[in-house]
Structure 1
Amino acid sequence: MGRRAVAVSAVLFFVQCLWILWLSRAEPDPAVAAMEEAEREALYLAVQGFVGNQWDGRSLFPDPCGWTPIQGVSCDVYGGRWYIAAIDVGPVLDNSLKCSTEAELSPHLFELKHLRSLSLFRCFTDQSVAGGASLYQDWQKLSGSLETLEFRSNAGLRGGIPPGLGLLSNLQSLVLVENSLTGQLPPELGNLVRLRRLSLAGNQLSGQIPAYNDWNELLILDLSRNSLSGPLPPSILSMSALLKLDLSSNQLNGQLPVAKQGSLTLLDLRNNNFSGLAGLAGMAALQYLLLSDNPLRANLAELGLENLRNLIALDLSSTGLRGEIPETIAKLRRLRFVALNDNDLSGRVPKSLEDLPELNALYLSGNHLRGELEFSEEFYARMRRRFACRNNAELCYRARAGSRQVAPPAGVRRCWN
């Protein structure tokens, strides 16, 4: 019986090996593993448009969604077949696809009907009049699939933002950062109702910001470092989901409208021409309030800062602020950074600021503050150079007898009386 059992086991093992060998030689089921030849050819030609005609994808990557994947190209299965889902081009990794000096957006790119994500980094670098690239393409062909579109650091990407981008109804992230785009913001971008992130920073965009009213899912809006002008539409500060708003380094003006939502955590309006604040009370979740270099000319005590209990960073430098520093600022227990320098503030410096447990930077230089600084030596030792109170002619500090103070506040005279 023992020999018979061994013989049976040997036969079963042999049959099993034959079955595995047959499976390995069998052709894959076309309904499961195949890729449409038109899709494969469109991919090769689209990549050639970026990297140059010398790139031989047919020989190097005969199975781009299988055993010969292309770095930066991702695939997914739709209806039992492989399709291109994402293309990421740019010098990120050693084996990343890198654009040639004659890179272009090939028409074949728009034949990839299931493309969900397209990202191009440092791809279009030719800044000559004859060179460069444009965003004016047949985006409508990707309207049913594209969710992410990113063009970063493409100095040769010129012209305007085409209204046709507003046809990308599934788009959730539109990032066009540090290119050479010009012209105005098209109102058609307001049709992107699923948008969660919009970043157009570092271009040469001009004109006014349209009143976009339907961005109910938008979380991040960054239009910084452009030449946008005019007032800020109230609809921008009424977006219920918005977390971060960065409009710094533009030419926006007028009064900052009243915020009607409480989700905003970052408001960065530095380096603009805003001339007033309608109120900050509606921004209870705000953590970063950055308004420096605007002619606000407001009374600091009337801004309602005491309502911003989650505030971490407050930058109101060079805004023409007047009045005294209110004691209520000491109620903002999460404050770490306070910059009130280069204003017209007067009165005494509240000693209660010392009691802010997380404060590690306090800048009060260039005002009309007066009287004696009453901070403890421990405060000066903790802050060191992160406390500045220069150019306040009537302000002084008193050295304690026998003290070994780490360093007196730089630029502040001693009190002698």
Structure 2
Amino acid sequence: MRNFISTKALLPLLLLLHLQFLFLYHVCSDTPVSSAPMEKAEQEALYMVIQGFVGEGWNVSGLYPDPCGWTMIQGVSCDLFDNFWYITDINIGPVLENSLECSPDAKFTPQLFELKHLKSLSIFNCFTSTSHQPTTISSQNWDKLAKNLETLEFRSNQGLNGEIPSIFGQLTNLNSLVLVDNALTGVIPQELSNLVHIKRLVLSGNQFSGSIPPSLTTNLTELLIMDLSRNSFTGALPASFGYLTSLIKLDLSHNILNGRLPNELGKLQNLTLLDLKDNLVSHGLPQSLQNLVSLQDLLLSNNPLGGDLVSFSWENLSNLTTLDLSNTGITGSIPGTIAGLRRLRYLALDNNHLTGNVPQKLASLPWLNTLYLNGNNLTGILEFPDDFYKRMGRRFASWNNTNLCYSTVETLSVGHAPYGVQQCKHEQHVNVLSSNPNVGDGDKDQNSSIMASLGFSSSFHEFWWVVLVQEVVVFTILILML
């Protein structure tokens, strides 16, 4: 006999729980706002900060009387400290449908620096107007947030200009400073080198200039991501980059950096991305780069790099998936050792001064889906199999190599021949005869029809055709003699 509780026995218990829920709901809903565990000064400071961004018409008291309780504000998070609620995160900008959005006259208010437990501040697409009075980041009072602030982000604020305040260097607990796609100018302040616990430094898409301070790369030994792309930084990369041994991603693309790549880059054993495209880097690939055993993406296109590929030990970069050396002025041949990069997906060597043959072994790379070789001085025969051309399609480019042709040793399907490359001349005549019955001497069609009527294919060898005619003639004479 199974043990069970009858439905009738459960009803009183369910009813009691329901009554308790109604009582708690009634008590909580009737609790006055003043009894919420949040300091009044903290609450008023929050309202003033938000009003500064979204406008004074924002109804704070009616819509959000309890911003850390029953009526939480989208983009605002709280936490308990000493039995009181305090603001820990503020996210302003059109991230979600009901996110707080800035007004055209958005501004910083001094009450921001009264939120002493603030851990994260993110302002997205807020200061967008360039016709109004320019908006700059406040240069004072950030030190009041130094004890707790860990994340500071300004993204897509085209109306936000001026320089990075040097006082940011006092935010010593920051682990993420992101200033992306704004209109900020000036140089990187030396004071940022005090952010010794920072993990992510992203300053891309602004109008910064000057050189990269060596102290910045000497002290930030815990840095994981550095992105200074799409600015106007100049000068050579300092050797102090070798101190960033924790670095995973380094993006310095789209600047005016020049000189040689420092050998110290080879010390970045954890680096997975090295992006320096669209700069003025020269003097070839340093041998030390072959020590970057974790590297997955090496992007150096559009630099006057020079040098060659043969003297580099490519097989050491066994994790490489993307190699872009297009328009870098490299010379010499394509080494077969590149075929040892078994994880390679994208290989761009176009618009250089490469010579010699194209290694057939490149077709053996199992994941390769893009290969650009166009605009070089490559010679010889492309002997890739048909399935290689079929797999690559237009993602294989080898045009503008005058002395390069393709072989049909393995018959190519219709439309799979490499675009912009001529068929090798010594194969053209043979292929024309075997593939086009309408090309040849004037009796080709007639002969083909006779042979077909006798059960022979039109590709029958000329020699055997002559033998066949002779046999027919002899056979006819014998018939007439009988």
Please indicate the TM-score interval, normalised by the length of the shorter structure.
over 0.9
Q: Secondary structure at the match of 2:290?
A: coil
> Please, which runs of 5 or more residues in structure 2 have no aligned partner?
1-11, 427-482
1:289 and 2:298 equivalent?
Answer: yes
* Cα deviation, residue 303, structure 1: 3.0
Letter in structure 2 aligned against 1:72: G
Q: Secondary structure at the match of 1:300?
A: coil
Distance 1:166 1:400, change over 3 A: same
Q: What is the rounded CA distance, in whole Å, between the counterparts of 2:319 and 2:312 in structure 1?
A: 16
* Cα deviation, residue 153, structure 1: 0.4
1:126–1:132 contact (8 Å) kept in structure 2: no
Letter in structure 1 aligned against 2:156: S
Report Cα offsets for 1:203-233 as digits up to 9, x if no partner: 0000000112121211111000000000111
1:177–1:201 contact (8 Å) kept in structure 2: yes
2:383–2:409 contact (8 Å) kept in structure 1: no
Q: What is the rounded CA distance, in whole Å, between the counterparts of 1:97 and 1:29 in structure 2?
A: 26
Cα-Cα RMSD = 2.4
1:146 aligned to 130, 149, 156, which one?
Answer: 149
Q: What is the rounded CA distance, in whole Å, between the counterparts of 2:19 and 2:276 in structure 1?
A: 70
Q: Secondary structure at the match of 2:310?
A: helix
Distance 1:135 1:339, change over 3 A: farther
* Cα deviation, residue 382, structure 1: 1.1
Q: What is the rounded CA distance, in whole Å, between the counterparts of 1:283 and 1:318 in structure 2?
A: 23
Distance 1:402 1:98, change over 3 A: closer
* Cα deviation, residue 22, structure 1: 8.1
1:354 and 2:363 equivalent?
Answer: yes
Match of 1:262 in 2: 269
1:232 aligned to 217, 230, 237, which one?
Answer: 237
Q: Secondary structure at the match of 2:49?
A: helix
Q: What is the rounded CA distance, in whole Å, between the counterparts of 1:229 and 1:199 in structure 2?
A: 17
Match of 1:6 in 2: none
Letter in structure 2 aligned against 1:43: L
Report Cα offsets for 1:331-360 as digits up to 9, x if no partner: 110000000000000000000001111110
Q: Secondary structure at the match of 2:295?
A: coil
* Cα deviation, residue 402, structure 1: 6.0
Range with greater deviation from structure 2 (304-313 or 83-92): 304-313
- Structure 1 runs (4+) greater than 3 angstroms displaced: 16-30, 400-403
Q: What is the rounded CA distance, in whole Å, between the counterparts of 1:355 and 1:394 in structure 2?
A: 24
Match of 2:435 in 1: none
Report Cα offsets for 1:363-391 as digits up to 9, x if no partner: 00000000011111111111111110010
Match of 2:213 in 1: 210
- The structure whose residues are more often strand, as a share, is 1
Q: What is the rounded CA distance, in whole Å, between the counterparts of 2:412 and 2:139 in structure 1?
A: 70
Q: What is the rounded CA distance, in whole Å, between the counterparts of 2:21 and 2:236 in structure 1?
A: 74
* Cα deviation, residue 171, structure 1: 0.5
> Please, which runs of 5 or more residues in structure 1 have no aligned partner?
1-9
2:226–2:249 contact (8 Å) kept in structure 1: yes
Distance 1:37 1:387, change over 3 A: same
Match of 1:5 in 2: none
TM-score by length of 1: 0.92
Q: What is the rounded CA distance, in whole Å, between the counterparts of 1:18 and 1:407 in structure 2?
A: 75
Q: What is the rounded CA distance, in whole Å, between the counterparts of 2:341 and 2:124 in structure 1?
A: 41
* Cα deviation, residue 278, structure 1: 2.4
1:33–1:80 contact (8 Å) kept in structure 2: no
Match of 2:6 in 1: none
The higher-RCO structure (CA 8 Å, 6+ apart) is: 1
Aligned residues: 407
Q: Secondary structure at the match of 1:151?
A: strand
Q: What is the rounded CA distance, in whole Å, between the counterparts of 2:296 and 2:79 in structure 1?
A: 40
1:345 and 2:373 equivalent?
Answer: no
Match of 2:421 in 1: 412
* Cα deviation, residue 145, structure 1: 0.9
Q: What is the rounded CA distance, in whole Å, between the counterparts of 1:109 and 1:375 in structure 2?
A: 64
Structure number with greater Rg is 2
Match of 2:42 in 1: 39
TM-score by length of 2: 0.80
2:134–2:160 contact (8 Å) kept in structure 1: no
Match of 1:304 in 2: 313
Taking only the aligned residue pairs, the percentage that are identical comes to 53
